[in-house]
Amino acid sequence: MTGKGKKKEVNSGQEVIIEDSACNSGGEETCTCTCKENECGYNNENEAVNAQDENINFKEELEKEKKKSKEYFDMLQRKAAEFDNYRKRTNKEKESVYYDAVSEAINEILPVVDNLEKAVETCKDASDSQKILEGMEMILKQFKDSLAKIGVEEIKALGTKFDPDIHDAVMHCTDEKQEESMVIEEFRKGYKVRDRIIRHSMVKVVN
């Protein structure tokens, strides 16, 4: 090729400019593609490949998250079932302990009930009040012994300082012979089991 200029050729839908050797200091012809990327489809193909790769990655991540969610949900269901079983078992154990304690207490008191029934039958035909009194005193002692066996104690009140934690003052009076806040009369006995108050003593207190 001679002269200064450019020769245009079209090859496979691409526009190609072949420069004159005179324009090339190296003396060699050069070919420069001036086709637009959007015309030859190069950019669109890359975008399609990238979009496809991103879609594959998104599906993989989605499947991983679905798998994790299912694992967490299964674990939550197991924990919920375990907790429900624990709750039922605990309630059953508490109920069993309660009825065991009640049965033990009643079992200690039943002999007293038996003797009270016998005493009632004896009193119907008895004419000696002293014997009746002695029988009732024996039953009362037996009953107190039964209470002691299950840990029930009387609260001491008479002759002690008033204590609102164990005494219930329902009456007050003035008495120069007695110290202030002393319990001088007991209307109803109080009872406790260890440190737990079952019933406060109903008392009269000196102001």
Mean pLDDT for the stretch of residues 35-47: 55
Residue 55: inside a domain, yes or no?
no
Q: Please check whether residue 120 lies inside any domain of the structure.
A: no
For range 20-34, the mean pLDDT: 47
Count each helix (H run) and each strand (E run) in the chain, helices first.
3, 9
Strand blocks (E) in the chain: 6-11, 14-19, 31-33, 152-155, 167-173, 183-188, 190-193, 196-199, 201-206
Q: Which residue has the higher pLDDT, 160 or 28?
A: 160
- Residue 17, in any domain of the structure: yes
The pTM (predicted TM-score) of the whole model is 0.54
Question: Mean pLDDT, to the nearest integer, of 136-149?
Answer: 90
37, 48 in Cβ contact below 8 A? no
- pLDDT category at 43 given cuts 50, 70, 90 is low
Write down the pLDDT at residue 73. Answer: 92
Q: For position 25, what pLDDT does the model report?
A: 46
Domain contains 198: yes
Provide the number of structural domains found in the chain. 2
For residue 201, give the 3-state DSSP assignment: strand
Domain assignment of residue 90, yes or no: no
Q: Is residue 2 part of a domain?
A: yes
The parent domain of residue 13 ranges over 1-35
Is residue 56 assigned to a domain?
A: no
22 found inside a domain: yes
**Average predicted confidence (pLDDT) for the chain:** 80
- Which CATH number is 188's domain given? 2.30.22.10
